[in-house]
Structure 1
Amino acid sequence: MMYDCAIIGGGPAGLNAALVLGRARRSVALIDNDRPRNAVTHASHGFLTRDGVTPTEFRRIAYEEVLRYPSVAHLPTEVISVSKSESGFELTLTAGVTVNARKVILATGVKEIFPQIEGFYPVYGKSLFNCPYCDGWEMQNLPLVLVSEQQSVYHMAKLLLNWTDDLVVCTNGKMILTNEQKTRLLANGIVLMEQPISAFIGQNGQLTHVIFEDGTQLQRAGGFIMPRFAPATPFAEQLGCERAESGSCITDASGRTSVPGVFAAGDAAYFMPSQLILAAASGSRTATGVNLDLTEEDFS
């Protein structure tokens, strides 16, 4: 069978793309390995009518809605490779199964690369987060820590003052801030600690202390940590898509990449801010681009 479109990734971008294309009566293969990046998140926020929904519940509702449309086939498996074929694209799945499609949407998201600090994972997603728009409200007015090894920590520190006025910035041994930035942080009541971090200490997921290699202990009730991002799959590179320095696909306003027939949506097309509502909107926009191109091809 030749599908009109194969969507790789069942996050909000891929699911919304499948919904729009299914309603456009396009045959869709929605391929998802069921390993969402936000699985550790206790709740997702900022999505109208779904504020506070758990990732599991969001996916359950989304799949229930998407699979009402018989033209959408859900393939819960892994894509091994994607290649160009005479009639479109060939996707090789696990166990050697192949899927053929006229168009492909990469909705594969990104993977997070966090500083390697002992005690990180027991508190991550419970009291230590990476997105203030997602979790800042729940952390408001608490003594918070911001951990980052990137120069963008300066912008994030300014942003976090919307939620707390008790903030300590930790750069984990990296000298990434200018003297002017340090002065301005201090003038706004933000404490800077640049020594390497030894461990996060917490109980039942609740951060209590940050321990530094020099023996200093910092008492905190929660905070944010800034990861680096990298593409979650090699498919954009395999297909020869033009990519930004971050590794995300460069697309036009309708999600088209530099390779004809290949589209990208959500975090595969941009990395920040990483929010459900923006990813879903990107999937919707990209699906209309796919449908437009299919329509033009069929009409001519």
Structure 2
Amino acid sequence: MIMDCAVIGGGPAGLNAALVLGRSRRKTVLFDDNKPRNAVTSESHGFITRDGIDPQELKSIAQEELGKYPDVKIEKQHVLAVEKKEGLFEVRAADGKVFLAKKLILATGFKEVLPDLERVGEFYGKSLFSCPFCDGWEMRDRPLAVISENENALHLVKVASNWTDDLIFCTNGKASLSADEKNMLENNGIQVYAEKIARLVGNLGVLEKIEFESGAAIRREGGFITPEWVQASDISAALGCKRNALGGIETDGMKRTNVEGVFACGDILMAGASQLIMAAADGSMAAIGVNAALIEEKFKI
């Protein structure tokens, strides 16, 4: 059977794309290998009616809802490769099955590479986070730190200050600030620590203090860091999809890539803030784009 669309990625973007396609009576196969970027997260926030939900519970509810639509099939497995042959996409799954689809939606997301700090993985997702809008409320009014080495560090510090008046900025000896920028932060009560961090200290994922190479230490209860984002899958590259300045997939307003028939949505775009509600909205738009393309092909003169 030739499917109308294959959706690769079972996060909010892929799930919402499959939902809109199912409701549009499009024969759809959704691939989900259940290796989400937010596996360390126990609560997801900022999604109306689902604020604070466990990401796996959200996925379970979504998959149950998709079960109402007979044209949507869920394959809980990894996609090894995708090739475009004679106008169709040949999707090869890990179990050896091959699926043919007229259109393709990529919603494979990205992976996070954490900073090279001792024990950082123990605290990430529990008391250290990447998105203040996602987790700032839970960390409000505590002594927090922003630990960042990249070019967006200053912006993150400014944003994080919205949730606490007790904030420090640790550059880990790498991020550079001008004298004016440093003064600006300190004038707003934000101390800058330029020394390299020796280790993070705490128990059961709860940060207690940051120790520096000089032996100095400062007590903190959590904060925010900036992981590096990299594509979780090389399928888009293999198909020839163009990348944007951030390394994400370049699309137009309908989520179409430069490759005919290929759409992309969610975190894979690396277009800025990464939140469930934004990814889900992206998935909806990609599905609308697919539906529009199929309709135009049907009524082509």
Verify same fold: TM over 0.5. yes
Query: What does 1:102-251 correspond to in 2, within 5 Å?
Result: 102-251=102-251
Q: Cα deviation per residue 1:42-73 (whole Å; 9 max; x = unaligned)?
A: 21111111111111111111111112111111
Q: Cα deviation per residue 1:251-284 (whole Å; 9 max; x = unaligned)?
A: 1111000111000000112342100000000000
Cα displacement (A) at 1:222:
0.9
Q: Which moved more, 1:105-114 or 1:85-94?
A: 85-94
Measure the CA separation in 1 of the matches of 2:234 and 2:269: 14
Cα displacement (A) at 1:84:
0.9
Q: Which moved more, 1:168-177 or 1:13-22?
A: 168-177
Cα displacement (A) at 1:95:
3.3
Preserved CA contact (<8 Å) 1:229 1:271: no
Measure the CA separation in 2 of the matches of 1:166 and 1:149: 20
Preserved CA contact (<8 Å) 1:151 1:177: no
Measure the CA separation in 2 of the matches of 1:286 and 1:149: 34
Give the TM-score taking structure 2 as reference length.
0.97
Cα displacement (A) at 1:247:
1.7
Measure the CA separation in 1 of the matches of 2:251 and 2:2: 25
Q: Cα deviation per residue 1:169-205 (whole Å; 9 max; x = unaligned)?
A: 1111104222221111111110111111121111122
Preserved CA contact (<8 Å) 1:230 1:246: no
* Structure 1 gap segments, 5+ residues each: none
Task: State the number of aligned residues.
Answer: 300
Give the structure 2 partner of residue 295 of structure 1.
Answer: 295
Give the structure 2 partner of residue 11 of structure 1.
Answer: 11
Q: Aligned-residue CA RMSD in angstroms?
A: 1.0
Percent of residue pairs bearing the same amino acid type = 50
Measure the CA separation in 1 of the matches of 2:175 and 2:232: 29
Measure the CA separation in 1 of the matches of 2:190 and 2:169: 7
* Helix, strand or coil at the partner of 1:173: coil
Preserved CA contact (<8 Å) 1:110 1:271: no
Measure the CA separation in 1 of the matches of 2:37 and 2:107: 12
Give the AA of the match of 2:76.
P
Give the structure 2 partner of residue 52 of structure 1.
Answer: 52
Measure the CA separation in 1 of the matches of 2:66 and 2:170: 43
* Helix, strand or coil at the partner of 1:40: coil
Preserved CA contact (<8 Å) 2:141 2:166: yes
Give the structure 1 partner of residue 262 of structure 2.
Answer: 262
Preserved CA contact (<8 Å) 1:169 1:190: yes
Divergent runs of 4+, >3 A: none
Give the TM-score taking structure 1 as reference length.
0.98
